[in-house]
Amino acid sequence: MTKISIITINYNDKIGLSKTINSVLNQSWQKFEFIVIDGGSNDGGLEVIEQFKDKIDYWVSEPDKGVYNAMNKGIKVAKGEYLIFMNSGDTFYDDQVLEKIENQLTDEFDIYYGDYYRVYSNSTKKRTFPEKLSFSFFYSSSLSHQSSVIRRKLFFDIFLYNEEYKIASDWEFFIYAICHKNVPYKYLNLTISNFDFSGISSIGKFKDLDKEERAKTINKYFPLFVDDYTQVSELNSKRFKQIFHIQNYSKAWKFLKMMISFTLLFVPKIKK
């Protein structure tokens, strides 16, 4: 049985698709299945797929109903025991990532995750994750599907991605699997991917939609936490506005950062 299937979805992003395909094919460990699900691109994406078709195990180019519909198509045709979603524009952090991951996958855990770099148009920023995940972690964050390895069977034991959502379906899957079904997981202390942050979920105007979809999931699967979730969301919003307001006054912002640094430097360490 194939151990890992890499699923790449694409729609009208031929440059990103080419970058992702090259990253996948440059991996030092090559015993994976490679799947490309294209949404019927008309920008030359199909020609890119044709160029690499002898290296792609399965591909299709046809209209779909959105990102999560395309990801579900990949899940259904995949033959690997574990899945990695590396969508067009995303790349592996280096050419040895799969080699480092492959020998850590065991029957003990169903979800593995690691760190990634957010790639903006003119900068990069590393995102690291804790070894222990909790419901409070998922209040304001999520795992990255680009840096997660998921046992394929989970999608059929739990559910496939929610195709009614445009932003938060992968978050819904993770919070339900880990916080509701208590699925065993493991943090891989390594950087797995470079996440192209020009996608829909990273654009500011979609933040409200993301919040709305997350609220629907909390209502559906965690009804006892609805009030807490609402209060925390409102509190975080107020904190953001306060910080943004302070940042507009450079002297105040510099003073605040200086005080934080001073506190961290001189507060006594607590001995265990």
Residue 78: closest CA among 32, 46, 29, 14: 32
pLDDT tens per residue across span 1-40 = 789 999 999 999 999 999 999 999 999 999 999 999 999 9
Contacts made by residues 117-123, CB under 8 angstroms, sequence distance 24+: 117/93, 117/191, 117/193, 117/194, 117/195, 118/195, 118/197, 118/202, 119/194, 119/195, 119/196, 119/197, 120/197, 120/198, 121/198
Model confidence band, residue 254 (pLDDT cutoffs 50, 70, 90): low
Q: Check residue 22 and give its pLDDT.
A: 98
pLDDT tens per residue across span 126-160 = 999 999 999 989 988 999 999 999 999 999 999 99
Whether residue 267 is predicted with pLDDT greater than 70 in this model: the reply is no
Q: Check residue 206 and give its pLDDT.
A: 82
Average pLDDT value for residue range 63-69? 96
Q: Check residue 257 and give its pLDDT.
A: 55
Model confidence band, residue 270 (pLDDT cutoffs 50, 70, 90): very low
The count of C-alpha atoms lying within 13 angstroms of the C-alpha of 217, restricted to the half-sphere facing its C-beta, is 26
Torsion angle of the four alpha carbons 233, 238, 242, 248, in this order, in degrees rounded to the nearest 10? 80
Model confidence band, residue 207 (pLDDT cutoffs 50, 70, 90): confident
pTM for the full model? 0.83
Q: Check residue 250 and give its pLDDT.
A: 57
Q: Check residue 199 and give its pLDDT.
A: 56
DSSP string computed for 129-197: --SS--HHHHHH----GGGEEEEHHHHHHS----TT-SSSHHHHHHHIIIIIS---EEEEEEEEEEEET
Residue 81: closest CA among 114, 106, 59: 106
